[in-house]
Amino acid sequence: MKLKTTLLGAAAAVALAPLAAQAERGEDGHLNIIYWQAPSIMNPYLSGGTKDLEAASLVIEPLARYDEAGNLVPWLATEVPTTENGGVSEDLTSITWHLKEGLQWSDGTPVTSEDVKFTWEYCTAEGGGCAQSEKYNDVESVETPDEHTVVVNFSVPKPFPYGPFVGAQAPIIQKAQFQDCLGPKAPECTDANFAPVGTGPFTVTEFRPNDVISLEANEHYRDPDKPAFATVTFKGGGDATAAGRAVLETGEFDYAWNLQLAPDVLEQMASAGQGQVVSSFGTLVERIMINLTDPSPDLPEGERATKEHPHPFLTDIAVRQAMSMAIDRELLTEIGYGEAGRPTCNVLPAPEIYASTANDACLIQDIEGAKALLDEAGWVDSDGDGIREKDGVELSVLYQTSTNAVRQDFQALIKQWWEEIGIETELRNIDASVFFGGDPGSPDTFQKFYADVEMYANNFDGTDPEAYMANWSCDEAPSPENQWQGNNMPRYCDPAYDALVAEMAQTGDIKKRAELAKAMNDMLMQNYIMLPLVDRGRVSAHANSLGGVILNTWDSELWNAADWYRKDM
């Protein structure tokens, strides 16, 4: 009897083996994904939030997107247009996309160039408050010569024409579904915003805002064998620790997003053997910004932290350089990020062609050197209280950042190093929703910068750093005149830098662009306007039984969810 069962089992295994290799849509059952920030809407044009973009990327797709190496790959288009293949015009003012043949929306209707054109109209409609309108900057018109061809015309030459319809931020939406939702009517289309008709591997069956999304395989998906999963539960809420625990320790979930946890905590979770941690690097850099203006509370509101009042001591480059030298970036990385971080001396660490190597000396901590530098510049501790001073000005800084366990550890460590070289440091942490909120009425936002130094992380979309590097031009400095908007937190202003920014906007040649970007990066670094600390990778985790995961930091993490499958364990 026993032998017979074994034999039958073996026979069955042989019979099933070819089937397993040849995947079929929906055969792997159910997939559980957890995001500790819960998505609130499935329409990326109405919400810039990463959580919403990534959830939506399961359903709606762009013409082309970035792969895990940061290369553009065609998605709904047949190929990526370039000047070489004639897709981009010689004068860089138009780009022509061709849609794949036979594409269908999840309701079975064909995808046409009209839908692509409509997407542009939707995002640029007056009064809609489209979160991605930056992507459609300078687009003059979108033409549809035939059902499968889209021509985007720009009003100015675009050296990098891959803004519109590219990446998770700018997916194509269905005209039929959204045509009554233009402009101010956008929020009224709740059903469309919660369950957009898409071309992606899954479609929404139920959407509960800020809680959970139920999805099922899209039966009109272009690859008849994909996706391997029939249904998906996309749960949101909680915190990163709980999400990591649910994948790595209890095995309740298959995929957990963005596990920003201390390395020893992650390691302990992974040791449970249920899943594995994956990480990948992008352009996210944790940095300290130095305020070149005076944030003193004694100044009247409206003049505080503006260019009228230069900072009493941070305008001295010796002080800024000493602060940088005192930091042990290797140690910070080891404590805070482990495998998922790399010490860096550049604010533009990637992609490869843009990464400068001119500043790598900062990787080695040099406390003695920092002290010598300060001595030389005349900053000495003359009254014996451990704090250096010059002309009655004491080196005393207020160091603020958002509330986050790793950032508070960084603060404590850096405070100790700075105090060692004679710079008194007071720490302050601010709730992220206030710190990163742009409320001009709040004194605690990172734009107002009512502190001497502040720490946060930033990156840029896609692979082109032009807009990112333009952040530090003179007119980007937050001030009362522009309601404290702008990304030039240090209030750095150098005409030479602005000239480089202007030059890059005119340059099409990729090598030349890379040189310009590097020059700008080096200029910022060698002036110690900001102190980059760690090049932060994205860390996520997936169950051992989940196959096909390729972590991508240039686009949505779920970009290839169609290829995910259940491994035989």
Partner 1 sequence: MLTFTIRRLLLAIPTLLFISLVIFLLLELAPGDPMAQVPLTVPPEVKERMREALGLGEPVHVRFWKWLVQFFWVEPLHLIDNLFGTALAEGQQRVISWQSRSPVMDIVAQRIPQTLWVVGVAYIVAILIAIPIGVYSAYRQYSWFDQAGTFITMVGFSVPPFFSGVLVIVIFSVNLGWFPSIYDTTHEVNDWDSFVVQLKQMIMPVMVLALQITSQISRFMRASMLDNLGQDYVRTARAKGMTERVVVLLHVLRNSMIPVVTVIALGIPAIFGGAIITEQVFKVNGIGQLLITAIQANDLPMVQTLTFIFAVLIVLFNLIADVLYGILDPRIRYD
Partner 2 sequence: MTDRDDVPVEPANNPAGAGAAPALDPATEYRPPRNQWWDVWDQFKTHKGALVGAAVFILIVVAVFLGPYLWTIDPTYIDIRAKNQGPSLAHPLGTDQLGRDTLSRMLSGGRVSIAVGLTAMLLSIGIGTLIGVIAGYFRRLDGPLMRLTDLFLALPILPLLLVAVLLFRDMLSAAFGPEGGVFVLIVSLIGITSWMQTARIVRGDVLALKEREFVLAGRSIGTPSRRMITRHILPNVLSPIMVSATLGIATAIITESALSFLGFGFPPDFPTWGRLLFDSVDRMQLYPERVIWPGLAISLTVLSVNYIGDGLRDALDPRIRGR
CA distance 65 to 170: 10
Q: Give min distance, CB of 219 to partner 1, in A.
A: 22
331 contacts which partner out of partner 1, partner 2, none, CB within 5 to 8 A by kind? partner 2
Residues 115-154, interacting with partner 1 (CB under 8 A): 127-134
Shortest CA distance to 329 belongs to which of 535, 522, 537? 535
Give, as ranges, the residues between 450 and 469 that touch partner 1 (CB under 8 A): 458-461, 467-468
Q: CA triplet 462, 466, 469: central angle to 5 degrees?
A: 110
From 228, 430, 525, 530, residue interacting with partner 2 (rule: CB under 8 A): 430
251 sits near partner 2 (criterion: CB under 8 A): no
Closest CA to 230 of 42, 61, 35, 31: 31
Minimum distance of partner 1 from residue 190's CB (angstroms): 4
* Touching partner 2, residues 312-341 (CB under 8 A): 331, 335
Task: Report phi then psi at 364, rounded to 5.
Answer: -100, 125
Closest by CA to 317, choosing from 284, 292, 347, 288, is 292
**Segment interacting with partner 1 (CB under 8 A) among 319-327, 348-356, 379-387, 437-445:** 437-445
CA distances from 468 to 136, 440, 472 (A): 17, 23, 8
Q: Which does 415 bind (CB under 5 to 8 A by kind): partner 2, partner 1, none?
A: partner 2
Q: Give the C-alpha separation, 236 to 212, whole Å.
A: 6
What is the CA 553 to chain-centroid distance, rounded? Answer: 7
Residue closer to partner 2 (CB basis): 151 or 451: 451
Q: How many helices (H) and strands (E) does the chain have?
A: 15, 20
- Binding test (CB under 8 A) with partner 1, winner from 25, 28, 33, 46: 46
Q: Judged by CB under 8 A, which of 85, 416, 483, 526 binds partner 2?
A: 416
Mark residue 111 as left, alpha or beta (left: phi above 0; alpha: psi -120 to 50; beta: remaining).
beta
Q: Which of 104, 296, 429, 545 binds partner 2 (CB under 8 A)?
A: 429
| Piece of the chain touching partner 2 by CB under 8 A; list 6-14, 257-265, 344-352, 478-486 | 257-265
d(CA 75, CA 199): 10
CB of 344 to partner 2, least distance (A): 20
442 binds partner 2 (CB under 8 A): yes
* Interaction between residue 427 and partner 2 (CB under 8 A): yes
CB-CB contact of 247 with 542 (8 Å) = yes
Question: Of these, 12, 20, 358, 412, which contacts partner 2 (CB under 8 A)?
Answer: 412
Q: Which residues contact 418 (CB under 8 A, 6 or more apart)?
A: 323, 326, 397, 424, 425
Q: How far is the CB of 385 from partner 2 (least distance, A)?
A: 16
Pairing relationship of beta strands 424-430 and 530-543 according to DSSP bridges: unpaired
Asked whether position 268 contacts partner 1 by CB under 8 A, the answer is no
The verdict on 387 binding partner 2 (CB under 8 A) reads: no
d(CA 153, CA 143): 8
Binding track, positions 223-252, relative to partner 1; x by CB under 8 A: ----------x-xxxxx-xx--xx--xx-x
- Apex CA 275: angle with CA 272 and CA 281, to 5°? 120
Q: Quick check: 160 binds partner 1 (CB under 8 A)?
A: no
| Interface residue with partner 2, options 144, 214, 241, 458 (CB under 8 A) | 241
- The H-assigned helical ranges of 163-253 are 175-178, 190-194, 240-244
**Residue 429 interface partner, choices partner 2, partner 1, none, CB cut-off 5-8 Å depending on type:** partner 2
427 binds, among partner 2, partner 1, none (CB under 5 to 8 A by kind): partner 2
Q: Give the whole-angstrom CA distance, residue 535 versus residue 343.
A: 6
Q: What does 526 bind: partner 2, partner 1, none (CB cut-off 5 to 8 Å by kind)?
A: none
Applying CB under 8 A, the residues found at the interface with partner 2 are 241, 261-262, 264-265, 268, 297, 331, 335, 402-403, 405, 408-409, 411-413, 415-416, 426-431, 434-435, 441-444
